[in-house]
A and B are shown apart, each in its own frame.
Chain A
């Protein structure tokens, strides 16, 4: 391999290669080597790229996080983890990118349903995995984080639900980064056959106060009439770096919903890209909270490629201190996607003079008979609302906190999966300890 801009990573790969999942499979090896060559060429994305204009990841480039192959499983305290664990779910816990059977629970799965660690799946990969791996992400995103992840992923989840099967419990992926200066890569693949239904909850956490980089990529194939409900809670420490990508291909009359709660980390970028076939539907909700010096970027892209599709997008940002939020929402309506109904909304609360929000809705419409709308708002707390609370006996500091919490909580309140809503509300309350919000009163 020629020495490119990232010789360290090539060396790492040469050292790790044999231990990575799928090493015994020619197509996996090929995919990894192609991705490494690509990453070697492109490196991590640069702000010169329009899609990365507001998010500079040069800190990640400079830090040269080391891809890990060892797990700090022993360090993961089960009690601490349990606060984030759904009580009634199949759970797969990964520590530093490695599956921990000890902390996971995937017993009593219905017949024909596959919920498996990717490392196990790739020991003897099913044909469906070979057919779908890399396909959905390849349609939309080819930047350095994707190639980095493809080259280095150490584990992940394979979820495969057969036709017309409805999973009775959600599948929860919990990832814990436990070691500083490390780069971890998870790669998930979800395939819902025609008419299948499933809920997937991703929870990304970190234990160390020292920074680490967690890259997670999920590809989801939702075939005809199938439905996937995705939930993401990112609650890593204030020094963590993250790139998360969720790439979805929705078949005819398929349905995808996603709730993205970006509540932690130092430098965070989440991409949610959805391709909708005829009569496909998606609803993307998101909340990002910036405090201290956080930078949090939500990048969404919905492509209507069939007629009669519906998309709804509702993102909220709360930015205080010196934090910076980015929302880029792009809706593309292809020429054949007549009768598309697309709505996008982004509302932001700026709580400090030094906080910043860059919000960029983009509509790219190539069909003439469509209904597309977008709205953006950036504002401060409403003085009238503050006075209203004061006039009910609430002191001004509590009033401001209550209104800030309320602004964020509207999104959390709307989460239909009750167990996740509860966990999310706790995580949100932990971000506003000074708010003095009483959970038992909510």
Chain B
């Protein structure tokens, strides 16, 4: 099992956000997590990546046999968890390529491997940026500095391609992208799909799923997964909106 979330509860300050999430992700699977605003989608991705400010009040998260919640954010990253941010931060003064190299080497060091050879690294990065339709100059600019929304998202995918994570969590990666940028990002993700690598796509809209076909779709509402299905569930949501899910829940309650 890649990831096993059982009865996860988390709160922000005094407000309960996640109220009993259960989710199992096997290697190679693509899971889409959909839901209305405020349903807890982004909280789930942040809790998985280890961001501070969230209180986990119950449940367990097991990542490849380890207790994920016990691991510091950087350990999770070095062990292969990658979060593509909804709003990647800008860091002027440190170049994009510097961060890529620092991140890759932190991971290699963690695995007991030697530092990446400078020439090999450059070759690898150049190959990846071409496939993401990014200009080589991006490597030498400050991290995300002055990048457009689409460029920032492509940069996240570039980092993902270099770090080769085992579990990729994409937090609203489609937000703010026009259709061309969306296609490039989706192509980048699809190129990384393997039988071992798993994906969790957190998204509000079905649109992204036209380009990245999920194996499972889950609907999150009020901090719980209220419905799961295959890719067709996303299409149904697109047609009917989230209202009918909430109505169904009200009927059950």
Contact = CB atoms under 8 A, between A and B. Distances in A.
Interface of A: 382-385, 387-396, 398-399, 402-403, 405-410, 413, 438, 440-442
B229 interface: no
A395 B74 contact: yes
A385 to B, nearest CB: 5
A434 to B, nearest CB: 15
B12 interface: no
Interface residues of B, number: 33
A406 B92 contact: yes
30 contacts: A385-B89, A387-B52, A388-B85, A388-B88, A388-B89, A388-B91, A389-B99, A390-B50, A390-B73, A391-B49, A391-B51, A391-B82, A391-B85, A393-B74, A393-B110, A393-B163, A394-B102, A395-B106, A402-B91, A406-B91, A406-B142, A407-B93, A409-B94, A410-B92, A410-B142, A413-B93, A438-B102, A441-B101, A441-B102, A442-B98
Contact of A392 (B97, B110, B159): B159
Contacts of A396: 72, 74
B154 interface: no
Interface in B210-230: none
Contacts of B89: 382, 384-385, 388
B69 to A, nearest CB: 15
A390 B72 contact: yes
B83 interface: yes
- Interface of chain B: mostly helix, strand, loop or mixed: helix
A391 B102 contact: no
A399 B89 CA distance: 13
A393 B94 contact: no
A405 B76 CA distance: 25
Given A392-B159, A394-B102, A441-B102, A406 B93 contact: yes
A391 B98 contact: no
Q: List the 9 closest pairs (A to B, CB-CB), nearest first.
A: A406-B93, A393-B106, A393-B77, A410-B93, A392-B103, A390-B73, A409-B93, A406-B94, A388-B89
A413 B94 CA distance: 9
Given A383-B52, A392-B103, 7 more contacts: A389-B99, A394-B102, A402-B102, A406-B93, A438-B101, A441-B102, A442-B98
B95 interface: yes
Contacts of B94: 402-403, 405-406, 409
B33 to A, nearest CB: 18
B99 A392 contact: yes
A46 B85 CA distance: 52
B93 A390 contact: no
A390 B142 CA distance: 17
A36 B138 CA distance: 57
Contacts of B91: 385, 388-389, 402-403, 406
A385 B74 CA distance: 13
B203 interface: no
B93 A394 contact: no
A399 B102 CA distance: 10
B166 interface: no
A124 B16 CA distance: 83
A382 B92 CA distance: 13
B103 A442 contact: no
B4 to A, nearest CB: 21
A300 B52 CA distance: 41
Contact of A390 (B77, B82, B110): B77
B78 interface: yes
Contacts of A395: 72, 74, 106
A390 B98 contact: no
Interface string B89-133: 101111101110111001100100000001000000000000000
Contacts of A394: 74, 102-103, 106
A324 B98 CA distance: 31
* Residue of A388, A398, A440 ringed by the most chain B CB atoms within 10 A: A388
Contacts of A383: 52
Interface string B56-89: 0000000000000000111011100011010011
B49 to A, nearest CB: 5
A437 B51 CA distance: 24
Contacts of B51: 387, 391
Give the one of B76, B83, B91, B163 with max A CB within 10 A.
B91
Contacts of B98: 438, 441-442
B99 to A, nearest CB: 7
B125 to A, nearest CB: 12
